[in-house]
Amino acid sequence: MSYQTLDIRTDDRGVAYVTLNVPDKRNVLSATMIAELTDMAGTLGAAEHTRAIVLAGAGKVFCAGGDLTWMKAQIEADRETRMREARKLAMMLNALNEMPTPLIGRLHGGAFGGGVGLACVCDVALAAEGTKFGLTETRLGLIPATIGPYVIARMGEGVARRVFMSARLFEAAEAAELGLVARAAPEADLDAAVEAEVAPYLSVAPGAVGRAKALARSLGPRIDAAVIDATIARLADTWETDEAAHGIDSFLGKTTPRWALTS
């Protein structure tokens, strides 16, 4: 299948390289990208010949988070539409998290909001030194709702609370300390570090890898239909708040939101 927002190539080993490919928009998670990542997880990510998938971003940043134009549309929509669109985002994350193929994140530049969520559904994420991270939703009057279960599963609640609500930015070294990424590497060495994670999957049974991944998920924090539905409702609820409307309008209008204290 041909995609508008993803660039995909597969080498002769069965390793697929999936690149978020909207660099002029900092690879934001638009409705189109959400749909295409969901499809990719259900096709390429479920194919027997795919031994591993490397997820990267084109341009200066890995992923700047959700498309705020898309979010603004949800704020102006009715409740049924909000719930439907929130579900698309939640099910994209779930599809990436549950696909049997190992997913290796190659992060550079920045990962914010939903970009952190993408890192957390990777089986292992590696970041270039200097990459900036942030769960930036609360700056906009939003919350990290649908990504929340995966962030907490990756970091653990106590550690995640250091960055989950404050929207503060942190770099790759702290991301590794938090458990968000496995390690930080000099940018010149990032491809070699990714290849070192890919290589072991070329000598193990693909079916057993998928079953082991499913086992690990079943033994970890519960992320089932009830949890996903609760995050969808929380995101739709947040889109209905005055804070969300004001925060997104302020961002798009390049003005300071009323809650930001200035010196």
Per-10-residue mean pLDDT of the chain, 263 residues long, equals 93 98 98 98 96 98 95 90 95 98 98 98 98 97 97 97 97 98 98 98 97 97 96 95 95 94 71
Backbone angles phi, psi at 139, to 5 degrees: -60, -25
Instruction: Indicate whether 217 belongs to any domain.
Output: no
Per-residue pLDDT at 182: 98
Instruction: Indicate whether 231 belongs to any domain.
Output: no
Instruction: Indicate whether 212 belongs to any domain.
Output: no
Instruction: Indicate whether 234 belongs to any domain.
Output: no
Count CB-CB contacts under 10 A for residue 119: 27
Instruction: Indicate whether 174 belongs to any domain.
Output: yes
Instruction: Indicate whether 180 belongs to any domain.
Output: yes
Instruction: Indicate whether 31 belongs to any domain.
Output: yes
Per-residue pLDDT at 263: 55
Number of domains in the chain: 1
Instruction: Indicate whether 150 belongs to any domain.
Output: yes
Give the domain CATH number at 58.
3.90.226.10
Per-residue pLDDT at 75: 87
Per-residue pLDDT at 1: 65
Per-residue pLDDT at 2: 85
Full residue range of the structural domain in which residue 123 is found:
6-189
